[in-house]
């Protein structure tokens, strides 16, 4: 296969990575084909493709994990090659083999390499041959837990149980005491089996305060293997990266040479072709140990592109076509500093509970040096069936401090309405003194309370000003809809009148706004306190510009139903207008156990009539590839059981009712 013979590529993925691959394909003059599930039929990546093939279904097993359906879609559309992106089938050896057997190019390494590196246990064996530093480990296999523990205890505490297949923190558990070892091994096995179809796990020492450093590698079919420097990925939640950067502050020239040389040795040992990553743990004393080889493009590849000037997807396609790596990859230098932040639809204040539902607005400021790779458009419905990442925001600047500052500013000024996200946590991490000093490791979000980092960016004062802006925007909307005298200014009265009143519920509680327009200007009270020297220069349903205490500010207002989303230089607020005459709502029956989020019921551990104790796990819900254990809030008897395994549920759905003793 040559570059000229690749005229059409099917992308076996979704969301932002599908859009990212399509962008390079368009630049190379290559047509693209999307495949999609039912929830994704109207997604941006589908609309941007030249052709699309619906796979049907909702769960990944019914769509993006169907090897036969994807290969058939490539045949039907006469695609020359398939790009797997990352996740789903990207590291599935059977998929790479199916492409090869069908005569369809696969943009990635060989099936044999994927299979070898897909098992972390096998990968460790191969790395030992390549003289790559390794942590000691014990394969669990069919051994009893107590026997495994006897072999692992000499490593010292704590220990780490890891799934041999897959990654992303699934099938991984930290063990800090012997009493919990057996139960955590079983939990890791079950999670690994559910996520990867493979229950194999192993045990190794858990390195405290380690940094996560990965080396980007590239090989071609002509025997060339190179590294494209490092990325630091130490800021993680649930063992999943959320902030990545290049270069790493932890590496000097000697350590960089040692780690990149080890990565190249690893790649040569396994005959690596195409893009991949060799991942290492770096200890506080400067020692590094092999973690795994990711046989695909990484989520965080844009930071490498920023500091090297390369297009890694273009290199992937060239290598897949049999071309040698171009000369520029052999003469690379890093320029400036790049940082990427992953925006997730999740609530860090509730243990990173995924958010699913309607995203009413998603806007990030455009500026030089800021790159946004988004899975969604201006608005979208976020499905519970897939990873909750909304976008990656990447900044490239001359220095690390400037990159962090610009990325923080871009995230803080984003308008993200309708769902909880990790935006606030990202902003506060980027401005944290420890982060700016480079004092980071994989436990950063354990040392610094995620709930505090994820608190609203604006303080109570900001929220009150936002409530005033929301009240004025609401008045402007009513004025715009008026059938008579629609030309007079909003809120204007010919004669003095009483204050107009609006109440909102915000993060800090209830806020009362009173205002009236007079000839000399706006009279405004917030929670009964008169605000001096207020002028409203602009009042529209979408924008309020006010002078207060000698400062002019512009507030962007977006109303959805009775919720007002307000963004300003002071931060962002979501304010619910309190109706003057509330309508009584039906109450949920006492003892009801409700779903905390949308998802699929993975397991039901009780039946109607069973006796349960407070804290007992009754059901397990799978949402966005994460298991959520639903426990009994009180002791009693299961009076009603309204779901069974396999049911799809919305957030707030009553799952069971417990009759208290």
CB atoms inside a 10 Å sphere around CB 409: 17
Residue 103 zone, left/alpha/beta (φ > 0; ψ -120 to 50; rest) = left
- Are the CB atoms for 343 and 422 separated by under 8 Å? yes
In sequence order, what are the residues at sequence separation of 6 or more whose Cβ sits closer than 8 angstroms to the Cβ of residue 253? none
| Burial of 547: CB neighbours in 10 Å, binned 0-12, 13-18, 19+ | middle
Q: What backbone phi and psi angles, to 5 degrees, belong to 394? A: -125, 135
Q: CA-CA distance, 444 to 543, in Å (whole number)?
A: 38
Reported in sequence order, the residue ranges of 261-306 that DSSP labels E, i.e. its strands, are 274-282, 288-294
DSSP H stretches of helix in 572-641: none
Q: What backbone phi and psi angles, to 5 degrees, belong to 208? A: -75, 145
- Are the CB atoms for 238 and 624 separated by under 8 Å? no
Residues annotated as catalytic are 296
Q: CA-CA distance, 566 to 92, in Å (whole number)?
A: 45
In sequence order, what are the residues at sequence separation of 6 or more whose Cβ sits closer than 8 angstroms to the Cβ of residue 585? none
- Are the CB atoms for 394 and 340 separated by under 8 Å? yes
- Are the CB atoms for 428 and 453 separated by under 8 Å? yes
Burial annotation 427-443 (CB, 10 A radius, 16+ → b, else e): bbbbebeebeeeebbbe
Residue 361, CB half-sphere, CA atoms under 13 Å: how many? 20
Q: CA-CA distance, 89 to 67, in Å (whole number)?
A: 8
Helical axes 93-101 vs 111-118, angle rounded to 10°: 170
Residue 545, CB half-sphere, CA atoms under 13 Å: how many? 3
Q: CA-CA distance, 157 to 258, in Å (whole number)?
A: 28
Q: CA-CA distance, 557 to 574, in Å (whole number)?
A: 10
Q: CA-CA distance, 174 to 104, in Å (whole number)?
A: 42
Q: What is the largest CA-CA distance in the chain?
A: 89
Q: What backbone phi and psi angles, to 5 degrees, belong to 310? A: -90, 155
Closest CA to 7 of 39, 50, 43, 71: 50
Q: Is the dihedral of CA 434, 439, 445, 447 positive or negative?
A: negative
Closest CA to 275 of 301, 257, 256: 301
Q: CA-CA distance, 358 to 118, in Å (whole number)?
A: 36
């Amino acid at each position: 296969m040559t570059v000229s013979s690749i005229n059409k590529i099917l992308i076996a993925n979704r969301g932002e990575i599908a859009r990212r691959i399509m962008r390079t394909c368009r630049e190379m003059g290559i047509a693209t084909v999307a495949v999609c599930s039912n929830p994704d039929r109207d997604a941006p990546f589908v609309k941007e493709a030249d052709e699309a093939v619906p796979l049907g279904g909702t769960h990944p097993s019914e769509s993006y994990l169907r090897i036969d359906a994807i290969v058939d879609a490539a045949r039907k559309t006469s695609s020359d090659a398939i790009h797997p992106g990352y996740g789903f089938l990207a590291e599935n050896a059977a998929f790479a083999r199916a492409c090869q057997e069908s005569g369809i190019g696969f943009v990635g390494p060989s099936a044999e390499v994927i299979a070898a590196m897909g098992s972390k246990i096998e990968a460790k064996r191969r790395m030992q041959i390549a003289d790559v530093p390794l942590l000691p480990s014990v394969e669990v296999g069919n051994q009893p837990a107590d026997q495994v523990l006897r072999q692992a205890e000499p490593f010292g505490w704590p220990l780490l149980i890891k799934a041999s297949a897959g990654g992303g923190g699934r099938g991984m558990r930290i063990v800090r005491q012997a009493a919990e070892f057996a139960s955590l091994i079983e939990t890791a096995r079950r999670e690994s089996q559910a996520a990867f179809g493979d229950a194999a796990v192993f045990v190794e020492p858990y390195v405290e305060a380690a940094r996560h450093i990965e080396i980007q590698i590239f090989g071609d079919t002509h025997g060339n293997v190179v590294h494209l420097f490092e990325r630091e990925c130490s800021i993680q939640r649930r063992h999943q990266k959320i902030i990545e950067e290049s270069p790493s502050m932890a590496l000097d020239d000697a350590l960089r040479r040692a780690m990149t040389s080890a990565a190249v040795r690893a790649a040569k040992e396994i005959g690596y072709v195409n893009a991949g990553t060799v991942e290492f743990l770096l200890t506080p004393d400067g020692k590094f140990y092999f973690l795994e080889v990711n046989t695909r493009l990484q989520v965080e590849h844009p930071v490498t592109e920023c500091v090297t000037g390369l297009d890694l997807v273009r290199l992937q396609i060239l290598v897949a076509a049999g071309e040698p790596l171009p000369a520029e990859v052999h003469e690379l230098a890093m320029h400036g500093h790049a940082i990427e932040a992953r925006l997730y639809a999740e609530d860090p204040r509730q243990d990173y509970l995924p958010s699913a539902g309607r995203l009413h607005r998603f806007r990030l400021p455009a500026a030089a040096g800021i790159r946004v790779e988004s899975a969604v458009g201006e608005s979208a419905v976020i499905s519970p069936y897939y990873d909750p990442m909304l976008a990656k925001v990447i900044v490239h600047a001359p220095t690390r401090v400037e990159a962090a500052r610009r990325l923080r500013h871009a995230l803080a000024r984003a308008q993200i309405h309708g769902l909880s996200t990790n935006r606030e946590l990202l902003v506060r991490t980027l401005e944290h003194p420890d982060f700016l000093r480079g004092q980071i490791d994989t436990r950063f979000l354990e040392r610094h309370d995620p709930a505090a980092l994820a608190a609203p960016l604006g303080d109570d004062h900001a929220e009150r000003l936002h409530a005033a802006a929301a009240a004025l925007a609401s008045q402007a909307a009513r004025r715009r809809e008026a059938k008579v005298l629609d030309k007079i200014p909003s809120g204007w009265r010919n004669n003095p009148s009483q204050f107009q009143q609006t109440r909102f519920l915000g993060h800090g509680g209830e806020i009362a706004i009173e205002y009236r327009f007079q000839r000399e200007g706006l009279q405004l009270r917030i929670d009964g306190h008169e605000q001096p020297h207020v002028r409203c220069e602009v009042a529209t349903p979408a924008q309020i510009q006010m002078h207060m205490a000698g400062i002019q500010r512009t507030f962007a207002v977006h109303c959805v139903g009775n919720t007002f989303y307000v963004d300003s230089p002071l931060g962002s607020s979501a304010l619910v207008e309190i109706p003057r005459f509330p309508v009584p709502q039906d109450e949920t029956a006492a003892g009801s156990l409700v779903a905390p989020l949308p998802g699929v019921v993975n397991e039901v551990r009780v039946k109607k009539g069973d006796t349960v104790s407070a804290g007992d796990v009754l059901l397990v819900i799978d949402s966005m590839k994460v298991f959520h254990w639903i426990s009994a809030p009180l002791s009693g008897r299961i009076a009603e059981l309204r779901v069974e395994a396999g049911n799809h549920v919305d957030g707030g759905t009553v799952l069971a009712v417990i009759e208290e003793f």
